Structure 1
């Protein structure tokens, strides 16, 4: 997909127009976004600012505004660049729509998790870049091909995105804490989960009987197990909106 595709999309009403100032010739939107992602991957989203990116490019913040209107647009562009890495199905397969929905969700989670806490960007925002829209178009197309009613597909997709983004962001928080601790990932997680287990196990049993009795289940599985459980729960819920005759056909094809 050509990145120039994004220039043909309408500008969201809530975004300021870029200033048409004369910027240095060597600057470009691609270079600015590449630099911002490099800062993100190395130090996290909080380190990304127009000033910091300008410093990395050995220029002043004002020169960036000819290519990026403000930090909000920069974050949107960064997210869309990251979304280019997502591998999505070439076309919907009605017989495998549930599997395809999960494949797309796993791919979103994989890519977001590889870029520090970029998963924070779509929370409380509406991604409008070409790559984000391409991914959303396929998610909706897959559900609709599987017989999911349009409203259930639209709302179901939005709930899946929220779940995936939140889970990836939660993982990025632990990654940041692990790096700050100086521990390896397995050592950090073992200590953290051990502390949580001890806390639950030592709660007053008369006040928290269900928690104390079920510490084993509360602490069972790893992040991948729990992500799969939550995703399957969502997909089954969306599938429940498929008309009964379509569900019968879907089950017959499995």
Structure 2
């Protein structure tokens, strides 16, 4: 006996297709199986329809990705309280968090700026806050694009600490607003400024606490006697503000008859304005005038304003086997001081090929 035919009307009714439903399905596939699995055919299969049906709502896969990106950006919260810096920081953190919830979408964001409702709205919010902070229209325009790239990059690197992201956006904002740097130019430090140099060092140490390096943040600055020696020898320089008060300093030692940056510190209120670079440029110029061939330093390799920063300037790492006797002695002292609780290494830069600016 043949079974009675089953009416197709007995099937559960499908949810009507819409652009929002297609986008939400695409996000679900992205989150569960990754960007490689995100195809129009796969989305259609999830929705129990044919791929051709989707083209009524999304033109192609790129249009789907753009819609997914805009949908995620619609979840970004716009802060209403706090000064402009606090609101920019919270807005950026919210955007990074929203993108970071969807593995692979941050890479899409890094490669494009969608001209869609919520993407444009995010940029307009940033522009308004930057103008409130004192940036002119041109500066606010390129800064908004730069911060968007920062959001995408930080979302890609979301596995790293949130504190790193907070430091990075603070430095970025300082650089946008403080460029060109206030004060200057570089000058020799004076004996009556030693206490001010120690205070700069304490303030410059505070961001280390934000990346889980409290012991470094709490470490005491160089002693008055040590700093007095560099000042007396003419190898301590400062960057002064408009009132000629130091806001950054560099002290330069000699290790194996070559210059060695013992310390370079910038008050965090002026981070991102390339003041540290100007001080290093000056130290390299001094070294060149003395006929010296290279300049060295030791640094934390994974702290963004240490090793990665110096690499961008032109420093390269020295393998332990290639360390000079003087550098090895410094590393032994650093290990004894407990600094190697975090990865640390020596770096060098050639004086002759150094690029100023």
Fold in common (TM above 0.5): yes
Q: Is 1:153 matched up with 2:147? A: no
Larger radius of gyration: 2
**Corresponding residue for 2:46?**
56
2:29 corresponds in structure 1 to 39
Unaligned runs of 5+ in 2: 1-13, 183-241, 243-268, 270-357
Q: Could you say what secondary structure the match of 2:109 adopts?
A: coil
Q: Identify which range, 112-121 or 71-80, moves more after superposition.
A: 112-121
Q: Deviations over 1:128-159 (max 9, x none)?
A: 11111111111111111222111111111211
| In structure 2, C-alpha distance between the alignment counterparts of 1:27 and 1:225, rounded to whole Å | 42
> How far has the Cα of 1:104 moved from its partner?
1.0
- Residues 139-196 of structure 1 show CA distances to partners (whole Å, capped at 9, x for unaligned) of 111111222111111111211111221121133xx6xxxxxxxxxxxxxxxxxxxxxx
Using the TM superposition, give the Cα deviation of residue 26 of structure 1 relative to its aligned residue in structure 2, in angstroms: 2.2
Structure 1 position 242, deviation (Å) = 9.0
Against the structure 1 CA distance between its residues 25 and 109, is the aligned structure 2 distance closer, same or farther, given a 3 Å change threshold?
closer
Q: Establish whether residue 224 from structure 1 lines up as the match of residue 162 from structure 2.
A: yes
CA deviation after TM superposition for structure 1 residue 81, in Å: 0.7
Shift of residue 241, structure 1, vs aligned partner? 4.4
Q: Call closer, same or farther: CA 1:127–1:41 in 2, change over 3 Å.
A: same
- 2:102 equivalent to 1:115: yes
Distance in 2 of aligned mates of 1:145 and 1:225: 25
Q: How does 1:2-41 map to 2 (within 5 A)?
A: 26-41=16-31
Tell me the SS of whatever aligns to 2:76. Answer: coil
Q: Quote the RMSD (CA, aligned, Å).
A: 2.5
In the alignment, structure 1 segments of 5+ residues that lack a partner are: 1-23, 175-221
Whole-angstrom distance in 2 between the partners of 1:123 and 1:115: 13
Query: In 1, Cα distance between the equivalents of 2:143 and 2:130?
Result: 9
Report which structure shows greater RCO (CA 8 Å, sep ≥6): 1
Could you tell me how far apart the structure 2 residues matched to 1:88 and 1:115 are? 20
Query: 1: distance between equivalents of 2:169 and 2:117?
Result: 25
Q: Say whether residues 1:239 and 2:174 are aligned partners.
A: no
- 1-structure distance, mates of 2:55, 2:96: 31
Q: State the number of aligned residues.
A: 171
1:147 and 1:242 in contact (8 A); partners too: no
Q: C-alpha distance in 1, partners of 2:36/2:149?
A: 21
Q: State the alpha-carbon separation in 1 of the partners of residues 180 and 25 from structure 2.
A: 45
Counterpart pick for 2:91 among 104, 108, 117: 104
Q: Which moved more, 1:157-166 or 1:24-33?
A: 24-33
User: Cα deviation per residue 1:73-128 (whole Å; 9 max; x = unaligned)?
Assistant: 100100111111110134xx7x8111111111111111111122211112221211
Question: Residue 139 of structure 1 is aligned with which of 118, 126, 134?
Answer: 126
2:79 and 2:18 map into 1 onto residues whose CA distance is 31
Bigger proportion of residues as helix: 1
